[in-house]
Amino acid sequence: MDRILEILRGIDDSIDYEREEALIDGGLLDSFGVITLVAELEEAFDITIEAAEMTPANFNSAGAIREMVERLQEN
């Protein structure tokens, strides 16, 4: 989780990622932020994120991102 929070803060450090639950739905993270995040997650966790994963539900909070990362690591 700490690594995910570190990556997120590297993209935009003005957001309280530990509490925020609507990063995408609330428009806090734009599409450029999302593709930067995906590239960083792939490198940090050695996973491949496919276009099918690009749903707001997977990126709306740090917790949702962690769940997606863990699921992809298991696969």
Locate all alpha helices (DSSP H) within the chain, ordered by sequence. Answer: 2-11, 31-45, 56-59, 62-74
Residue 38: closest CA among 4, 73, 2? 4
CA distance 25 to 61: 10
Question: 19 or 51: whose CB is closer to other proteins?
Answer: 51
Query: Which phi-psi region, left, alpha or beta, contains residue 29 (left: φ > 0; alpha: ψ -120 to 50)?
Result: beta
Among residues 49, 65, 68, 69, the one that binds other proteins under rule CB under 8 A? 49
Chosen residue from 5, 28, 42, 45 binding other proteins by CB under 8 A: 42
Please identify which residue in 39, 67, 70, 73 interacts with other proteins, judged by CB under 8 A.
39
Size of the site for other proteins (CB under 8 A): 18
* Interface residues toward other proteins, by CB under 8 A: 14, 27, 30-32, 34-36, 38-39, 42-43, 49-52, 54-55
